[in-house]
Amino acid sequence: MRVLVPYDARDPKTRLSPLFSPAERRSFARTSLEWVLSRVEEAGHDPLILATDDVEAPWPTVVDDRPLSTAVNARLGDADPPVAVVMADLALASVAALERLFAASGDVVLAPGLGGGTNALLSRTPAFRVDYHGASISDHATAARELGIEPTMLDSFRLAVDVDGPSDLVEVVLHGEGAPAAWVRDAGISVTVVDGEPTVTRPGEEP
């Protein structure tokens, strides 16, 4: 199955600016991208990087600098279903979780992200289109129903965690198994319990 992996090749992960330099953010985003691509491949499917700018990578890549939803919808319109869209910042993605996504029944399968996003989806209909603005998970469920399709909701913690802000790094440190977690640990990030709440800290920073 074709699996689109949208990727911000320019200034990714701006909400991690309190912890990481721009170069570090690009490095972490790149590490997460490669992690996701290799998990997709290991699950037996064909990733395609959908990048905002040129990317040097040993995977098929298409550059489209239009807004995310426009760029994804252009590919959904061209592709023979089924086609999946998996975000590049799913640092906890596992082959098992992705296999559950790809194997889930239904013409539209949605994996919610924390905070209302849609971290992964699978469409078996040529008519489905995305709109990632705002709380997209509700909009995508509505869009499926407007096509007469009851969406399948995939219940996955590993696909729900996308690394947007510092608090998401708590999950990466605690649950990450691969390269993105190693990157975060090598950056000196650790989890400290502050007032009963696990919090990420980096040497030289106030917790």
Query: What is the C-alpha to C-alpha distance for residues 160 and 164, in angstroms, rounded to an integer?
Result: 12
Binding of residue 151 to its own copies (CB under 8 A)? no
Query: What is the C-alpha to C-alpha distance for residues 9 and 79, in angstroms, rounded to an integer?
Result: 23
Q: How far is the CB of 186 from its own copies (least distance, A)?
A: 19
Q: Smallest Cα–Cα separation from 110: which of 139, 83, 131, 140?
A: 140
Binding of residue 155 to its own copies (CB under 8 A)? yes
Binding of residue 191 to its own copies (CB under 8 A)? yes
Among 157, 185, 205, 207, binds its own copies (CB under 8 A): 157
Binding of residue 207 to its own copies (CB under 8 A)? no
Binding of residue 160 to its own copies (CB under 8 A)? yes
Binding of residue 23 to its own copies (CB under 8 A)? no
Please check whether residue 102 is in contact with residue 41, taking contact to mean a CB–CB distance below 8 angstroms. no
DSSP class per residue in 115-165? TS-EEEEEE-STT-----SSSHHHHHHHHHHHTT-PPEEP--HHHH----S
Contact positions toward its own copies, by CB under 8 A? 94, 96-97, 100, 112, 114-116, 134-135, 137-138, 153, 155-160, 167, 170-171, 174-175, 191, 193, 196-198
